[in-house]
């Protein structure tokens, strides 16, 4: 959104502002425009003959002449607000976020890279060559070691990933870090950042190959979570309201996402031969939004879908009224019509957590570890209002009704009161609740990263790495039917068993954090700035990056490749039995969940009596905002 032709500075940002009457020219105004700076058009455009005054329109004021604007818009990340949104440096790779900061071989333009002559790729890491493209040396400077698995990363049109960043309304929306003139990056907590972090790590991983003939897997770097929640709706706040001003119903994010992923599917299957060769069975496709792959196109049913939402139920009802998806007639064309997650082939990955949050982790604290004087801790939305009656399938409401009345200063805390000491409270607790929200929540990651034993209270829903790691070593599962006796079970656990699980957490925690991106960013900084003292969490990032979430992901792929090869070499009858690619080292995980060929009911926890469920959790055949579920 810029000033445009006819103005003195046509490329100047018009971020968060508008001129009165714009709705007559552009029928996409929504009520959220009330938060924007606005005024008559002369506040923004002075006219070609009026550029010499002390006070001019925003698009014509020249800071070098000490001219002041009548109105002031916001600047995009990487622009200097004091200089009326001038670029910090047209060649700087540190002024704003880009993948691997363009590998030092291109210009970062508010989220996407314009590569220098001789370089290619989303992060400018590919050297153009007369013979065959190759990766630039800096792209290989990473702590991850090759484990033998080879991954080909597609180069996609920017509208499916990096161009979205250039349209972000806030600096930290789907960007992993910001700079704002600082020598060291500030890390964000962007909700769906795992799809960005994994992409950035894979681009610089020794496991990456530019030769698709030697690839074991093909990674599709699409920013689907960011698209749904940040970019698929018009300004000013990306509302899903394209037609609202015309009296028509709002579109659904899920339906837009379905069409968007279908467009990408057709692009890949028609532009490259690799998808059709395996029907996508060796393709890795991320779906990091609230309900994961529920609204993925059914055409992706053989692909390995990467998600945070490991719901194993067949024909699941929707778990969110915030983002409806199981609506007629489109739901039958979605992956979630049959299932949202197949434990035999899909993977549940950890959600992104800002590396800076690790500063409160007992594994990385500068001070002595805190005493764990809290038995059980859960802090989050409890769904106690009618507007949230279906939130979390009623699980959080049930937890609150059972234990929320206990004194908040005791050793059992169930609360929705936000606190700046959230990390400290996790580090003081022995056990922490893991429950869903409108789909997945990051409570598993929060618990593990702070050494709190996760208590998984979501029947039939996998948590990160559950089909790869033996989660029983460091976590508990408590069925909903036994939720009322939760405290008795926790109090009766032998101290030796608690100590064993805490020791397992101390070993496994790096696998739940994307440390590689933090390590690589610090190496870039050290090339520019003389080495100085590092925060403890950054030193740990370098030490543990070889076992982080990306490394674990690659290890899981290697295990699957080995199992796949074993199946190929087995007898034909066995090959037929596993034709749907049901391979993996720990498919059942000992979780008691239905994993391969799940038999769980599509009605979530139908055995729970209505009074225990709190407020109803079924949406089927209801009408919500004009949509039939």
pLDDT value at position 110?
79
Over 216-269, what HEC string results? CEEECCCCHHHHHHHHCCCCCCCCCCCCHHHCCCCCCHHHHHHHHHHHHHHHHH
Tokens (6 digits) for 379: 């802090």
Alpha-carbon span 591 to 305, nearest angstrom: 20
Residue 616 falls within a domain, yes or no?
Answer: no
**The tokens of 403 are what?**
């234990």
- Cα–Cα distance measured from residue 438 to residue 323, given in angstroms and rounded to the nearest whole number: 8
**Structure-token match 């656990």, residue found:** 493
Measured between alpha carbons, how far is residue 385 from residues 124, 389, 390, 391 in Å?
Answer: 49, 6, 10, 10
Q: Any idea what the Cα angle at residue 285 is, between residues 231 and 98, rounded to 5°?
A: 50
Statement to judge: residues 250 and 322 lie in one domain? yes
Phi then psi dihedrals of residue 221, to 5 deg: -85, 75
In contact, 11 and 3? CB cutoff 8 Å: yes
What tokens were used for 233? 């709706």
**Location of structure tokens 């440096």:** 89
Collapsing DSSP states into helix, strand and coil, what is residue 70?
coil
User: Would you report the helix, strand and coil content of the chain in percent, each value rounded to 5?
Assistant: 35, 15, 50
Residues 58 and 157 in one domain: no
Strand order in the sheet with 126-127: 119-120, 126-127, 134-135
Do 52 and 153 share a domain, yes or no? no
The count of other CB atoms within 10 Å of the CB of residue 213 is 8
241 in any annotated domain: yes
* pLDDT computed for residue 388 by the predictor: 78
Distance CA 620, CA 629 (A): 5
| Positive/negative CA dihedral, 156, 159, 163, 169 | negative
- Four-residue CA torsion sign, 88, 90, 96, 100: negative
> Is residue 628 situated within a structural domain?
no
Q: Are 448 and 474 in contact (CB under 8 A)?
A: yes
Residue 361, domain member (yes or no): no
Q: In the listed set 63, 87, 111, which residue is the last one of a domain according to the structure?
A: 87
pLDDT value at position 628? 52
Q: Three-state DSSP class for 285?
A: strand
Tokens standing for residue 130: 């007369």
- The last residue of a domain, from among 348, 373, 399: 348
The string of DSSP codes covering 422-450 is HHHHHHHEEEEEE--BSB--SHHHHHHHT
Alpha carbon distance, N-terminus to C-terminus of the chain = 37
103 and 210 in a single domain? The answer is: yes
Q: Are residues 213 and 173 in the same domain?
A: yes
Burial class (CB in 10 A: 0-12, 13-18, 19+), 162: buried
Q: Which helix (H) or strand (E) holds 324?
A: none
DSSP assignment letter at 210: S
- Last residue in a domain, options 311, 327, 348: 348
Q: How far is it, in rounded angstroms, from Cα 349 to Cα 357?
A: 19
Residue 184 lies in a domain: yes
Tell me if 108 is assigned to some domain. Answer: yes
User: Mind listing the pLDDT tens digit for each residue in 184-203?
Assistant: 788 999 999 999 999 999 99
Name the nearest CA neighbour of 84 among 166, 190, 13.
Answer: 13
The pair of three-digit structure tokens given for residue 173, joined into one six-digit string: 């929306």
Residues 343 and 215 in one domain: yes
Does 74 lie in the same domain as 125?
no
334 and 264 in a single domain? The answer is: yes
- Distance, CA of 529 to CA of 114 (rounded, Å): 24
Q: Is 112 among the domain residues?
A: yes
* Domain co-membership, 162 together with 241: yes
Query: What pLDDT sits at residue 504?
Result: 97
Instruction: Find the angle CA(523)-CA(526)-CA(532) to the nearest 5 degrees.
Output: 120
130 and 71 in a common domain: no
241 and 121 inside one domain: yes
Q: Which residues of the chain fall below pLDDT 70?
A: 23, 25-34, 48-51, 89-94, 130-132, 136-147, 180-183, 230-251, 320-322, 366-367, 408-409, 528-533, 567-629
Which is nearest to 516 in space by CA: 257, 116, 194?
A: 194
Burial class (CB in 10 A: 0-12, 13-18, 19+), 596: middle
Alpha helices in 81-185 (DSSP H): 162-166
Q: Is residue 605 part of a domain?
A: no
Structurally, the chain folds into a number of domains equal to 2
347-348 β-sheet, strand order: 208-209, 151-153, 217-219, 283-287, 304-307, 347-348
Q: Which domain holds residue 37?
A: 17-87
Question: What pLDDT does residue 347 have?
Answer: 97
User: How far is C-alpha 510 from the chain's CA centre?
Assistant: 18
Query: Where is 594: in which H helix or E strand?
Result: none
Residue 24 and residue 105 in one domain:
no
Residue 120 pairs in a beta bridge with 126
């Amino acid at each position: 959104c810029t000033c445009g032709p006819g103005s003195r500075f046509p490329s100047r940002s018009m971020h968060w502002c508008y001129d009165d009457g714009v709705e007559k020219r552009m029928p996409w105004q929504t009520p959220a425009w009330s938060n924007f700076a606005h005024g008559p058009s002369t506040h923004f455009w002075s006219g070609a003959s009026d550029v010499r005054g002390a006070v001019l329109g925003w698009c014509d004021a020249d800071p070098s002449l000490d001219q002041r604007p009548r109105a002031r818009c916001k600047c995009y990340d990487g622009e200097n607000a004091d200089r009326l949104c001038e670029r910090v440096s047209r060649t700087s790779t540190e002024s704003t976020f880009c993948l691997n900061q363009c590998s030092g071989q291109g210009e970062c333009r508010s989220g996407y890279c314009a590569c220098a002559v001789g370089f290619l790729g989303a992060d400018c890491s590919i050297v153009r060559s007369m013979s065959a493209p190759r990766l630039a040396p800096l792209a290989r400077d990473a702590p991850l070691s090759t484990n033998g698995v080879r991954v080909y990363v597609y180069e996609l049109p920017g509208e499916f990933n990096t161009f979205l960043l250039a349209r972000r309304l806030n600096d930290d929306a789907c960007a992993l870090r910001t700079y704002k003139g600082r020598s060291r990056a500030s890390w964000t907590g962007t909700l769906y950042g795992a799809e960005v972090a994994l992409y950035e790590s894979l681009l610089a991983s020794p496991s990456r190959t530019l030769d698709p003939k030697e690839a074991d897997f093909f990674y599709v770097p699409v920013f689907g979570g960011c698209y749904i929640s940040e970019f698929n709706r018009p300004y000013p706040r990306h509302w899903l309201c394209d037609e609202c001003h015309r009296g028509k119903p709002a579109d659904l994010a899920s339906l837009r996402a379905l069409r968007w992923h279908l467009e990408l599917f057709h692009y890949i299957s028609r532009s490259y031969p690799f998808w059709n060769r395996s029907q996508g069975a060796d393709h890795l496709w991320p779906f990091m939004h609230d309900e994961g792959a529920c609204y993925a196109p059914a055409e992706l049913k053989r692909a390995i879908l990467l998600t945070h939402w490991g719901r194993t139920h067949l024909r699941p009802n929707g778990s969110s009224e915030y983002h409806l998806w199981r609506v007629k007639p489109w739901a039958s064309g979605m992956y979630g019509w049959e299932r949202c997650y197949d434990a035999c082939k899909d993977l549940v990955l950890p959600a992104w957590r800002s590396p800076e949050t690790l500063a409160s982790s007992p594994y990385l604290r500068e001070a002595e570890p805190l005493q764990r004087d809290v038995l059980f801790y859960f802090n989050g939305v409890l769904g106690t209002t009618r507007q949230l009656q279906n939130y979390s399938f009623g699980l959080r409401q049930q937890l609150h009704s059972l234990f929320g009345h206990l004194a908040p200063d005791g050793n059992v805390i169930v609360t929705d009161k936000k606190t700046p000491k959230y990390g400290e409270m996790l580090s003081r607790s022995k056990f922490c609740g893991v429950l869903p929200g409108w789909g997945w929540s990051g409570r598993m990651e929060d618990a593990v990263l702070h050494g709190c034993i996760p208590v998984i209270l979501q029947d039939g829903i996998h948590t990160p790495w559950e089909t790869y790691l033996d989660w029983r070593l460091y976590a508990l599962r408590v069925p909903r039917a036994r939720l009322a006796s939760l405290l008795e079970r926790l109090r009766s656990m032998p101290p030796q068993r608690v100590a064993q699980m805490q020791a397992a957490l101390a070993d496994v925690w790096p696998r739940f954090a994307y440390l590689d991106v933090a390590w690589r960013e610090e190496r870039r900084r050290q090339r520019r700035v003389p080495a100085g003292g590092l925060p403890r969490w950054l030193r740990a990032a370098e030490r543990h990056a070889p076992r982080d979430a990306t490394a674990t992901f690659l290890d899981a792929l290697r295990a699957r490749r080995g199992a796949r090869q074993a199946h190929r070499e087995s007898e034909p009858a066995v090959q037929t039995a596993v034709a749907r690619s049901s391979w993996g080292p720990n498919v059942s995980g000992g979780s008691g969940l239905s994993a391969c060929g799940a038999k769980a009911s599509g009605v979530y926890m139908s055995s729970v009596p209505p009074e225990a469920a709190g407020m109803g959790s079924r949406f089927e055949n209801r009408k919500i905002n004009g949509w039939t579920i």
